[in-house]
């Protein structure tokens, strides 16, 4: 049973365009939703995260949109750059002792120049 479903699996965007990656979750007990960025040969790095009490969070060119009723959240990368080419993972957790991040399957983003 996949608790966090991520789409698309891969994405090609032109430089300067908007990249959008979507995630859906099933467990309504989840209360922490981060996005991680992973470059080849490196570990995942926390990009931005949101909690269910807000519908949007923006940090620079990265924005998370959160829809609690639909149990969906998305990552928007504005003005996408070749340096953004990486694999992006959404995740969710209950934020309690004895729990851990549950990851989506990842999206490989390629930004063409």
Residues at the interface with another protein (CB under 8 A): 32, 34, 36, 38, 41-46, 49, 87, 89, 91, 93-103, 105-106
Cβ atoms within 10 A of the Cβ of 63, count?
Answer: 18
Q: Among residues 1 and 113, whose Cβ is nearest to another protein?
A: 1
Q: Least Å distance between CB 21 and another protein? A: 14
Q: Least Å distance between CB 77 and another protein? A: 19
Q: Least Å distance between CB 28 and another protein? A: 15
Distance CA 69, CA 25 (A): 11
Q: Among residues 15 and 68, whose Cβ is nearest to another protein?
A: 68
Q: Least Å distance between CB 100 and another protein? A: 4
Q: Among residues 17 and 105, whose Cβ is nearest to another protein?
A: 105
Q: Among residues 38 and 110, whose Cβ is nearest to another protein?
A: 38
3-class SS string, the chain: CCCEEEECCEEEEECCCCEEEEEEECCCCCCEEEEEEECCCCCCEEEEEECCCCCEEEECCEEEEEECCCCEEEEEECCCCHHHCEEEEEEEECCCCCCCCEECCCEEEEEEC
């Amino acid at each position: 049973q996949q608790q966090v479903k991520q789409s698309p699996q891969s994405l090609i965007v032109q430089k300067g365009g908007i990249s959008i990656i979507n995630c859906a979750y099933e467990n309504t007990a989840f209360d922490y939703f981060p996005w991680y960025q992973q470059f080849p040969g490196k570990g995942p790095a926390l990009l931005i995260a949101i909690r269910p009490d807000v519908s949007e969070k923006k940090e620079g060119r990265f924005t998370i949109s959160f829809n609690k009723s639909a149990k969906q959240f998305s990552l928007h990368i504005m003005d996408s750059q070749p340096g953004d080419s990486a694999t992006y993972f959404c995740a969710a957790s209950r934020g309690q002792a004895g729990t851990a991040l549950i990851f989506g399957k990842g999206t490989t983003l390629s930004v063409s120049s």
